[in-house]
Amino acid sequence: MGSLGNSANSKAVHEAGEDDYDHHKHLSPTHQQLDAGALFVLKSKGSWLHCGYHLTTSIVAPPLLSLPFAFTFLGWAAGIISLVVGALVTFYSYNLLSLVLEHHAQLGRRHLRFRDMANEILGPKWGRYYVGPIQFMVCYGAVIACTLLGGQCMKAIYLLSQPNGSMKLYEFVIIFGFLMLVLAQIPSFHSLRHINLISLFLCLAYSACAAAASIYIGNSSKGPTKDYGLKGDAESQIFGIFNAIAIIATTYGNGIIPEIQATIAPPVKGKMFKGLCVCYTVLIITFFTVAITGYWAFGNHSEGLLLSNFLDDGNPLVPKWFILMTNLFTILQLSAVGVVYLQPTNEVLERTFADPKSKELSARNVIPRVVSRSLSVVIATTVAAMLPFFGDINAVIGAFGFMPLDFILPVIFFNLTFKPSKRSLVFWLNVSIAVVFSALAIIAAIAAVRQIVLDAKTYRLFANV
């Protein structure tokens, strides 16, 4: 009887806690959850499993196919060490961010956005003038990069069947943009959960295809002579190392952890950790398999996108249908990744143009949503078509954006929120991560800008690369 009474009491307390949460959610004057962006885009309805799907799509994405290229600047030992360190530090920092979010939720102030966290922990100016703009730049940059990469994959499929075809890259970018235009109309982040489950299987599929093709070519006489030496003079090698670090940091980057945690139904405690475990299981399988097999097969001849190595002067080194299938899997997942990174933009647009007092699917809200989101996708597609060298720009975005958001700010937020003892291991580990990755971000940004200067002579608007 006593245990039944305790169970009933604990249940009542639990339900009261949820009621309190709902009360704060709807009534707290200090919290901005009544705006249309939070109400319509960042719905808190998902499970930890849905969270895992969102995390996997946002992190385990086609940029992982550039990991063998990053290894060309690092070599075997430094490349594998960088991959391991990237996995450990990001898993750790994403968990710290989640704990800070959980802490504030238990206090009745659930933060649904990165800038909300920065407002409370660092002050309003940090949220408005630093974290908000950087996150917007990172996320919209990811949308542009996905659109460009989708167009490049479509062009690769086209050239397999029409080697002398006349269609240009920007035409394929526009075609991919139309796909994005349709998917962008999906109302909320939570609505993407089934698409992101499919996305999880797609990233496993194209990673398996990429690894299988690399092993096949590496074991045949078709591939290039294996050379794992670092290319260029000493200066090029040093800058190459930091360029590779920026590539790896961008590959591990997320930048929307609070927005993903916002999709979880209350109570949120412990659910993000389970979601991260799902994501990092897929991440370890894909990242390490593709990086190691790709670099083993092609050495310092690895291209910026591994799929490019499967063609030698336009001649396929594996069956055409296999390249077509791998590119198709990649294109489909790119569309899911692009839509996930549109969510912070969608949230800003909804907050600006939608009316939280009207129904989500009322004409008052649907018409501004379709117009604003369509315009957002059209702008991203236009930029992707105009700037096919956006990969160089993306390295700068990675250094300035992903490193602060994913490596530096989480440890600072944790130390300021929980105030661990200055004698504790956690405090000094967090300080060390912040200092080391701040220095790496600055140097990687310099290296990325240098690469843009070196490549500038080849830049042309709407180039058919």
Largest Cα–Cα distance of the chain, in whole Å? 81
b/e burial code for range 101-115 (CB count within 10 A of at least 16 → b): bbebbeeeebbbbbb
Residue 272 lies in a domain: yes
Q: What is the pLDDT of residue 18?
A: 40
CA dist 264 and 368 (Å) reads 26
What range does the domain containing 71 cover? 40-458
Closest by Cα among 276, 269, 134, 293 to 208: 293
pLDDT for 391: 66
C-alpha atoms less than 13 angstroms from C-alpha of 416 in its C-beta half-sphere: 17
Residue 23 domain flag = no
Two tokens at 228? 């794992």
Query: Taking the model in full, what pTM does it have?
Result: 0.89
Instruction: Please check whether residue 276 is in contact with residue 53, taking contact to mean a CB–CB distance below 8 angstroms.
Output: no
Q: CA 85 → CA 230, 245, 284, 407, 460, distances in Å?
A: 21, 11, 12, 11, 37
Please state at what angle helix 169-183 crosses helix 320-353, rounded to 10 degrees: 50
Contacts of 461 (CB under 8 A, 6+ apart): 386, 387
Q: What is the CATH number of the domain that holds 253?
A: 1.20.1740.10
The 10 Å Cβ neighbour count of residue 423 is 7
Residue 316 in 3-state DSSP? strand
Distant-in-sequence, close-in-space partners of 363: CB < 8 Å, separation ≥ 6? none
Residue 21 lies in a domain: no
Whether 22 is in a domain gets the answer no
Contacts of 436 (CB under 8 A, 6+ apart): none
Contact between residue 263 and residue 50 where contact means Cβ atoms under 8 Å apart = yes
Cα 213 to Cα 235: distance, rounded to the nearest angstrom: 33
Retrieve residue 117's tokens: 């966290």
Residue of 173, 203, 192 lying closest to 339 (CA atoms): 192
Is residue 464 assigned to a domain? no
**Cβ contact 147:339 at 8 Å:** no
> Is residue 427 assigned to a domain?
yes
Residue 316 backbone dihedrals phi, psi, to 5 degrees:
-70, 135
Q: Is residue 25 part of a domain?
A: no
Which residues have C-beta within 8 Å of that of residue 164, sequence separation ≥ 6? Answer: none
**Which pLDDT does position 297 carry in this prediction?**
95
How many Cβ atoms from other residues are within 10 Å of residue 429's Cβ?
13
pLDDT score for 224:
82
Residue pLDDT tens, the chain, 465 long: 444 344 444 444 343 334 333 433 433 333 444 688 888 888 889 999 999 999 999 999 999 999 999 999 999 999 999 999 999 999 999 999 999 999 999 998 889 999 999 999 999 899 889 999 999 999 999 999 999 999 999 998 998 888 888 889 999 999 999 999 999 999 999 999 999 999 999 999 999 999 999 999 999 878 788 889 888 788 888 888 888 888 898 899 999 999 999 999 988 999 999 999 999 999 999 999 999 999 999 999 998 889 989 988 778 899 999 999 999 999 999 999 999 999 999 999 998 888 888 888 889 989 999 999 999 999 999 999 987 776 677 777 778 888 899 999 999 999 999 999 999 999 999 999 999 999 988 988 888 888 788 777 777 776 776
Report the SS3 class of residue 29. Answer: coil
Pick from 223, 236, 182, 193: which is nearest to 52 by CA?
193
pLDDT value, residue 1: 42
Find out whether 296 and 218 touch, Cβ atoms under 8 Å. yes
Q: Give the pLDDT confidence score for residue 19 in this predicted structure.
A: 37
What token pair was written down for 185?
Answer: 């109309």
Residue 463 lies in a domain: no
Number of domains in the chain: 1
